[in-house]
Amino acid sequence: MRIAMIGTGYVGLVSGACFSDFGHEVVCVDKDERKIAALHANVMPIYEPGLAELVAANVRAGRLSFTTDLAEGVKDADAVFIAVGTPSRRGDGHADLSYVFAAAREIAENLTKPAVIVTKSTVPVGTGDEVERIIAEVAPDSGAKVVSNPEFLREGAAISDFKRPDRVIVGTDDEDARQVMREVYRPLSLNQSAPVLFVGRRTAELTKYAANAFLAVKITFINEIADLCEQVGGDVQEVARGIGLDNRIGRKFLNAGPGYGGSCFPKDTLALLKTADDNDTPLRIVEATVQANDSRKRAMGRKVIKAMGGEVRGKTVAVLGLTFKPNTDDMRDAPSLAVIQTLQDAGATVRAYDPEGVEQARPLLNDVAFADSAYAAIDGADALVIVTEWDEFRALDLGRIARTLKTPLLVDLRNIYPPAEAARAGLTLVGVGRD
């Protein structure tokens, strides 16, 4: 099939590359000329393991191409995916749908045959109705069908998630559109554990938000249990293991830490709350989750200050991990931002290292010294804080760290290291949810 992917951000580029790897002919469209020029040179605008190799292979095979010309991309397409950004709108927190609607209008102006218009961007309930209205207004005789197909990709594991998904959600009541989407995802048919679930369009739109909100609740719940564990002498990792073995609960997203961040959970929970408010249906649990998570990030900074004796003015803190999670360069709403700001507000000097996120972090962090390696960041610091659990931080030489730090203090906000191991190396370890 011929597929047009409008937008070469995280979702669009990964989806387009994976569709082409399935054997479809894919044209990725973006108005940013620099981004398209970079993609022609196989320079990725994002860090995602395996993406550059996947793109290069399919460009060589002639299945994947890039252009700034939407008319060229849409020409003769069987399916046109809208994968543009939907950031939180300034002022009210609603999802900003201006890019989606602009894309829909331009697509309608350039359709050369009946096509399925697929909203891949994360959008509030009812967005598909407006996209459909725009298409009908601009190209009333196009025969286009509008479908919702939300993405469920984890940064750092996006290619695997796309090719081996838990499920594919397609929102449409039109049988012709269903047939096209079946053909689009037919390469997944051998994976019996990855069903294509057809639902109503509004149901599909809501499913995406509901999934992210539920995971955000799960993360926030275990973080609050971690706080209780510290007060009563429990171990949150053992609690998480104990409840996670219950298959009604599951083990995933039960790792206590400094709070969630990234491009999805903060934005999507806020957008869901706005939709609920607009429909006079308060979501109190999600509301409490957002508030608790926002508070937690600075609380982790105060935790570091307390571990350092309550006074950090004039001291240097080494921070390992800046991105909101490992295997990405995404700094959006990363907990490190609030942790570092809290330390700086208290007078500390911060020296930081991240394997991939430094260039994204530079414009967001003032007066931070960026190191070239973990050990360079640690050298001579008064304390070490691990904020993001990159693999290269999982096997650090703790003895070397104890000898290098001015004060042998490790604040492990991801509970990577067992207390006994740290103690043997001569380090004082402060974790999350452990006394």
pLDDT in tens, 218-272: 999 999 999 999 999 999 999 999 999 999 999 999 999 999 999 899 999 999 9
Cβ neighbourhood burial of 297 (10 Å; 0-12, 13-18, 19+): buried
Give me the phi and psi of 313, to 5 degrees please.
-60, 130
Is residue 264 part of the annotated active site? The answer reads: yes
User: Which entry of 18, 28, 229, 264 is annotated as an active-site residue?
Assistant: 264
Three-state secondary-structure class, residue 155: coil
Q: Domain spanning 241-430 has what CATH number?
A: 3.40.50.720
Q: In whole angstroms, what is the distance from residue 410 CA to residue 290 CA?
A: 28
Statement: residue 192 has pLDDT above 70: no
Q: Do 241-430 and 2-199 have the same topology in CATH?
A: yes
Tokens describing residue 36: 């398209």
Statement: residue 81 has pLDDT above 90: yes
Find the mean pLDDT for residues 291-307.
98
Cβ neighbourhood burial of 313 (10 Å; 0-12, 13-18, 19+): exposed
Give me the phi and psi of 303, to 5 degrees please.
-65, -40
Neighbours of 421 (CB within 10 A): 12
Find the mean pLDDT for residues 6-24.
97
pLDDT digits (tens, 9 = 90+) for 338-381: 999 999 999 999 999 999 999 999 999 999 999 999 999 999 99
Statement: residue 90 has pLDDT above 90: no
Q: Domain spanning 2-199 has what CATH number?
A: 3.40.50.720
pLDDT score, position 193: 59
Annotated domain spans of the chain: 2-199, 241-430
The answer to whether 28 and 3 are in contact (CB under 8 A) is no
Hey, what amino acid is at 176? D
Give, for 429, the enclosing helix (H) or strand (E).
Answer: strand 428-430
Please tell me whether the overall predicted TM-score, pTM, comes out greater than 0.85 for this model. yes
Mean pLDDT computed over every residue of the chain = 96
